[in-house]
Chain A
């Protein structure tokens, strides 16, 4: 069996003393952990996993609407990240933006496959929230949340992504631009159009309820 070539790209040259890094330290910056993970350090990848699993799951859950697919796609995101981490390029945005981008592409494929199968339209399917910890939750609040989610799911995939990244994942416009492969200006303009569409959808849903 021929020896595998080392495809370590030039950009991943280590710029710090990796032997001094304590991965158990929660203060250690993502970039240093990423550089260790690029070298094949599984413990470093595990730290990145722990730091990002909740964010990625949450994003995918809001985009798919069910726990089963969210778990399946989240697993695929981390498997893919592990396979391709050597190709990671730091573009000045947090590492999680790279993971969100993988998730964004996988979710887009998932929606495309579902459309081909001609299953129940997503906007008509029920969006079931898992047992969330809403300390102040009431029945009325839950209904309002479900109505809001139903209206969000009537928007296009891109607009849903934008709303979720901004309000659930707390991403900045530059991070959203990186994840969605667009300019910051395009994101701002998409955001204003999204708010208008969402308001329209909410009004429609309210009318239907009356």
Chain B
């Protein structure tokens, strides 16, 4: 996307240019960021740690569900036992 890229087809030539297009081309200029900012951000990008997502063991979910079910059944059984007495 340099100034010399294939813009010929998209940009009108000077002769056929609408006055507003000419104004836009003349007045809008790219803005350069602060050089200190450029260096600071570059250093930040180098410092970004590589994050490795640790996979959970496959059956953890099932074990949790079974444990939940078991403890619920156990709780119901104890409550029934107590209420019968």
Contacts and interface: CB of A to CB of B under 8 A. Distances in A.
Interface of A: 1-2, 4, 42, 45-46, 49-50, 53-55, 57-58, 61-62, 67, 70-71, 74-75, 78-79, 82, 94, 96-97, 129-130, 132-134, 141, 144-145, 148, 163-164, 166-176, 195, 198-199, 202
Contacts of B20: 195, 198-199, 202
Nearest to B30: A58
Interface size class of B (residues with CB under 8 A): 35 or more
A61 B46 contact: no
Contact of B31 (A45, A129, A171): A129
25 contacts: A2-B54, A4-B53, A49-B41, A54-B32, A55-B1, A62-B28, A71-B33, A74-B33, A74-B41, A75-B44, A79-B45, A82-B45, A82-B48, A94-B1, A96-B1, A129-B31, A132-B32, A141-B27, A163-B24, A164-B28, A167-B24, A168-B29, A172-B1, A172-B9, A175-B1
A129 B42 CA distance: 24
